Structure 1
């Protein structure tokens, strides 16, 4: 075989292998048992809603600040024996849409009610982690007849109990323990390695789907950089949300 033909065959073969490898990376599928839909909650804004199915009253899981509904991928199926389990990715994060607002806590609460209406839920229970207390408390204040109850998971800030006179979010954040070292090159070699990093520094593993929401995957399958969600730099951050709630309880 002429040399140029052998070279051409090698190039074509290498291209095919690389193409198949890239296809394999792009075809990663979330192993969690949910279906996914997008619900319109505002003009030009749709939010991601995960549905794990289940029996009984509807329950809506709301993630903490900066996370998406995929953070519940491992936890939600455990509830499906007794509840019909949903999760909402709040606007400005993950694949949900975004538009700014002057009243973020109230707007997020209205987004939750819009999902309840769209999916025709009959008085679901809201379960929220951390800053999700913002939209839960907003729903309880403005639409108490639309829900059956609320569960706060490490989400009850001091201003909810002290008539707005306790520590604010900035003061509470100043009490945080030192941050762990950032992930190094070995930790970013793959999403499996990144999961192990978080298990090492936090004591638990995030679902891979949540990490893929938070981090960009490179063409080689390694982890590239963290995503910059519009909600993180807007009013949908702990300080802004908590400031609004603090004003409302005075």
Structure 2
């Protein structure tokens, strides 16, 4: 088994290697990675977070984050990418959490595509982060191999660092007994169901990245349905409380009628 080490990277040669790794992961043309070496050099020199994960000395993952509002409380993790098979993503998040806590921060935020199941499971189930905002067309259109020219709707998640760290075996998400399915998968397509329940399940397609390559029309239908359902619920003030069975967001709508006695 490879020995994994996570540490900050600052030198141009290593930053260039991070740039090349991001190009490989995102499938972009040379010079078009999500974060270039020059930008990372400036961020690192200014005291922000740029780290790499190394398996037996080979770069297999990296993450870039910068201080964000509220100043003194929040770190925003802009880019994290890792090759499969090394558990580098989780190791980077653990390192990032320790780095932030050592600087007196209490929260890390980042965005992710809410249609990607593995990312939703990782962020919500393994780390315990929670979506707090739905951002429509946040980066415009990206024509890399991951986004496939689709609208870049994103969920902004917040990871509160005052709670427990990442769980090796996370407990299953609690699904209320009265939960109804607000968005489901039928023959590969999204089906919008009831939205008036206090507890809802919002399904995620099995493989949106493959769908973008093989059926762009179906992928667009999923984007619009997720925007309507999950985006609409978050805009109303509903809370995502977990990710159930690697397939569904658990969403709780707060009722104005459920007020405490005074």
Structure with the bigger percentage of helix: 1
TM-score by length of 2: 0.30
Q: Structure 1 length as normaliser, TM-score? A: 0.31
Question: More strand per residue: 1 or 2?
Answer: 2
Bigger relative contact order, structure 1 or 2 (CA pairs below 8 A, ≥6 apart): 1
Higher CA-based Rg = 1
